[in-house]
């Protein structure tokens, strides 16, 4: 059995907030510096990444555990929840996918997407929507390999700050 098979998922709790927030900041900083060096994580964005209590109040924050250690996270916003950026009525929205740096490239992101889909379906969602920063080509390929398709009508254009591309998967 591989290590990716050993991951156990559970809902995040208040006790996890600091660890999950710091994981998100580390992950976003690392991925941006490595893959999109022109992107800078602002202090406002870091505050948002760390604000787990707000996320947990309207969505489900999932953590993946190996040997009692959090190795990744994803947040699932149910249909019509505050903060859900889905453009399809009845769709869930996933955000804040992050995997610890030393677990990257080993299939963990796909496992988080499967768990997010399971939870979205359990919440009665008809689809899952998500957004990625334009130019994050590796991330786009990850989602496409896992059944998501590009949908332009879901794009969010708030340039010069950011352009987000929409992706969707029917459940």
pLDDT digits 0-9 by tens, 94-119: 999 999 999 988 999 999 999 999 99
**How many structural domains are present in the chain?**
1
What per-residue confidence (pLDDT) applies to 162? 84
Q: Is the pLDDT of residue 170 over 90?
A: yes
CATH of the domain at 40: 3.40.630.30
Q: Is the pLDDT of residue 2 over 80?
A: no
Q: Percentage of the chain with pLDDT > 70?
A: 95
Write down the pTM of the prediction: 0.92
Question: What is the domain extent for residue 145?
Answer: 3-170
User: Interhelix angle for 108-122 vs 137-145, to 10°?
Assistant: 60
Omega within 30 of 0 (cis) for the link into 101? no
Q: Is the pLDDT of residue 33 over 80?
A: no
Element (H, E) at 74: strand 69-77
What per-residue confidence (pLDDT) applies to 35? 63
The two structure tokens encoding residue 90: 């009845």
């Amino acid at each position: 059995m591989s290590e990716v098979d050993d991951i156990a998922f559970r809902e995040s709790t208040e006790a996890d907030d600091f660890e999950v927030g710091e994981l998100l900041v580390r992950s976003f900083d690392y991925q941006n510096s490595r893959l999109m060096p022109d992107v800078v994580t602002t202090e406002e964005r870091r505050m948002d990444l760390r604000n787990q209590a707000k996320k947990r109040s309207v969505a489900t924050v999932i953590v993946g555990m190996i040997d009692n250690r959090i190795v990744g996270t994803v947040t699932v916003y149910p249909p019509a929840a505050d903060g859900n950026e889905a453009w399809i009525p009845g769709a869930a929205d996933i955000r804040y996918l992050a995997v610890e740096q030393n677990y990257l490239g080993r299939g963990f992101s796909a496992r988080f997407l499967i768990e997010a889909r399971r939870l979205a379906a359990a919440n009665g969602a008809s689809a899952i929507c998500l957004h990625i920063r334009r130019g994050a080509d590796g991330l786009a390929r990850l989602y496409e390999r896992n059944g998501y398709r590009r949908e332009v009508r879901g794009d969010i254009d708030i340039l010069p700050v950011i352009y987000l591309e929409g992706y969707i998967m029917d459940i």
